[in-house]
Amino acid sequence: MVILYTFISEDKHQDLVCRYLNTFSEAFKNKILKYRRWQDAQLSLLGRVLLRHGLKSYYNIEDAEIGFLSGHKPFLKEHNIYFNISHSKNLVACAISDFPVGIDVEFSDPSINYQDFKFQMTPAEFENVDGSADKINTFFTYWTEKEAVIKAHGDGMMIPLDSFEILHNECSIDGKKFFTKKVFIDEQYLSCIASNDPVIKTKEIILDKFSM
């Protein structure tokens, strides 16, 4: 399993657009050009660049076609390789594996008021965050774990965050078990991967920082 990541840069934006945008489909190109903020455009573009680079470098796959499941989760057509992309603030990451995977990264924003998200936590989760010595870190740990599981599940916003709890890196949704694993990418961010395959607990992870 590999997790590729990089950080966006305004100075490199035009060069990245010129270098990569025309190498993708017209539909994806139009999507990127619709963004008003350079940050959003570059995060989306680099997510796809990381995926392409990872597939070619680690799985010898070129020009893979992406499809979408009913829950809008993307997948690779004609390949038993799975991927998931996440970004937050300046960081974008792409997880690629031979088993289903979800990844979430979040900037550990010290200005966040975790109490605004109380309705998205179970009582036990809120008590754990509220009683923590480092409330911000505990909150974003909770958030990345939940989001990674939801992305691994594939049903997106159809699953309320307060409808399940993660205990000892495991949880159950509609009778289906999921497993989580924290990943360190950068000290300013929290990140987590999740899967319905327990192999995630012991699988070696290659971290690859992509140079633009």
Give pTM, 2 decimals. Answer: 0.94
Q: What is the pLDDT of residue 71?
A: 61
Q: Any idea which residue has 């998200």 for tokens?
A: 117
Q: What is the pLDDT of residue 198?
A: 96
Q: What is the pLDDT of residue 158?
A: 79
pLDDT, one tens digit per residue, over 129-144 is 999 999 999 999 999 9
Domain that holds residue 7: 2-209
The domain spanning residue 83 has which CATH number?
3.90.470.20
Alpha-carbon gap, residue 170 to 17, rounded angstroms: 40
Q: Could you tell me which residue, 75 or 210, shows the higher pLDDT? A: 210
Alpha-carbon gap, residue 17 to 41, rounded angstroms: 9
Going by pLDDT thresholds of 50, 70 and 90, the confidence category of residue 112 is very high
The number of distinct structural domains making up the chain is: 1
Contact in structure between 172 and 24 (CB atoms under 8 Å):
no
Contact in structure between 210 and 56 (CB atoms under 8 Å):
no
Going by pLDDT thresholds of 50, 70 and 90, the confidence category of residue 67 is confident
User: Which whole number is the average pLDDT over 4-25?
Assistant: 96
Residue 121 DSSP label: S
